[in-house]
Amino acid sequence: MANALETKLSNAKDVARKFLVEEITEQRVGEYLGFFVEGENVATHKFKCVDKAYVGWNWAVTLAIVDSASEVTVSEILLLPGEGAILASSWIPWEQRVEPGDIGVGDVLPTAPDDTRLVPGYTGVDDLFEEKLTPEGWEVGLGRFRVLSVLGKDQTAIRWYDGDRGPRAPIAEAVTDKCVTCGFYVAISGSLGRSFGVCTNKFAADDGKVVSIDHGCGGHSEIVVDLHSIPTGGMVFDDDNLDTAELIDEEVAEVEVAEIDEDDDDDDTEVEDLDLSADVIDESELEESDENN
Ligand code: SF4
């Protein structure tokens, strides 16, 4: 049951609206949305915000009263998100936001001391007796405080195998020849080397990348193509698009003389004293010339 102070605060809706309009302007204040009690002497009236920049937000005017003899006063006004309000994403710690490949030039990403992908490197004989090590589980950590753990290797192998350089990559499924038989495949050391190596074919899309032994591509070193079985077309001459040009009389004569020279060279004869100014060479001159010779 509402006490006298709550009733007085509840009835002060117009006080809240008047103050809001004075502060915000009437154009940004919408319909009345309700009232709720904040505490013993404090309550809030809510109004819809009709500012286009704050769709879904509501104005909250908080009122206070000292006692039943006092006047209601305004403590604060603020915007509160309502239904459909656009809100910022909730905060996520940076270490949970980092994704594979995020480290760029100049970036620094510290690795946690307890990162399960790493274990202390093998640094002395005593290590052999402190925990049971297997060839898959340890490697000499000369110069390194930590080396890849078994879990780290498992995660790496799964990530590489399921990635774009594993057997299910489209480029690998399109060919039958696999990396394991390719001359450009160079195995890596350690236990990961049983399943992975590096492609060294400069023409391959995966040159310099780690590939699984059952990956593959069309650049496999042993792929043989029978070039003679590839059909080729003959020379195509497009005589529909020849450029033509008019020859002047002197050029016609030169062409004809050249043709005659060619013919005479074949017959071991010479052409002498021809009238080059004629439009058409008189063949009788040629015959006479031949007879004289
Ligand atoms: S060239 Fe192709 S088949 Fe050969 S190692 Fe590279 S990716 Fe594998």
Q: Is the pLDDT of residue 142 over 50?
A: yes
Ligand 1 in contact with 182 (CB < 6 A)? yes
Instruction: Read off φ and ψ for residue 96, nearest 5 degrees.
Output: -90, -10
The DSSP bridge pattern shows strands 42-49 and 29-37 to be: antiparallel
Mean pLDDT of the chain: 82
4-81 has CATH 3.10.450.630 classification: yes
Q: pLDDT, tens digit, for every residue of 68-96? A: 888 999 999 999 999 999 998 889 888 78
CA of 230 relative to ligand 1 center, distance in Å:
24
CA distances in angstroms from 110 to 12, 16, 249, listed in the order given: 57, 53, 89
Determine the atom of ligand 1 nearest the C-alpha atom of 217.
2
Compute the average pLDDT of residues 174-199.
95
Ligand 1 centre to CA of 190 (Å) is 21
Is the pTM of the predicted complex or chain greater than 0.85? Answer: no
How do the domains of the chain map onto residue ranges?
A: 4-81, 250-292
Residue 218 pLDDT more than 90? yes
pLDDT in tens, 15-46: 999 999 999 999 999 999 999 999 889 999 99
Is 286 a residue whose pLDDT tops 90? Answer: no
Q: Among the ranges 20-24, 126-130, 259-263, which has the highest mean pLDDT value? A: 20-24
**Cβ pair 61, 77 in contact under 8 A:** yes
CA of 185 to the centre of ligand 1 (A): 6
Mean per-residue pLDDT for 237-258? 74
Minimal-distance CA residue to ligand 1 atom 6 = 199
Task: Identify which has the larger pLDDT, 171 or 190.
Answer: 171
219 in contact with ligand 1, CB cutoff 6 A:
yes
